[in-house]
């Protein structure tokens, strides 16, 4: 699953790359580009992330959870934000 990650107040908002940003965060994210794009299969939290995408359409994670779910993904490890 292709996903976009955005920095938001309180953490990180992850949503499908092939769909519009959900209304819950559309005003905060606006038209800006994602801070990171990634494939769920490349993450430690693949099942968690994909299950939440199917059930909720998006995932909001704080720093601690994001570090666990994205562990080992090089773009997360070496991010510049």
pLDDT band per the 50, 70, 90 thresholds, residue 27: very high
48-80 tens-digit pLDDT: 999 999 999 999 999 999 999 998 888 998 998
**Selection from 36, 37, 45 nearest residue 81 by Cα:** 36
For 51-55, the CB contacts below 8 A with 24+ separation are: 53/1, 53/3, 53/15, 53/16
**H or E element, residue 51:** helix 46-56
Residues 43 and 73 sit within 8 Å (Cβ to Cβ): yes
pLDDT at 35: 97
């Amino acid at each position: 699953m292709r996903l976009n990650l955005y920095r938001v107040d309180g953490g990180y908002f992850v949503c499908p790359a092939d769909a519009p940003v959900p209304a819950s965060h559309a005003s905060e994210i606006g038209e800006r580009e994602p801070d990171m794009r990634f494939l769920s299969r490349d993450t430690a939290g693949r099942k968690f992330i994909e299950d939440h995408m199917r059930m909720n359409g998006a995932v909001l994670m704080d720093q601690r959870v994001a570090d666990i779910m994205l562990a080992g993904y090089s773009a997360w490890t070496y991010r510049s934000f």
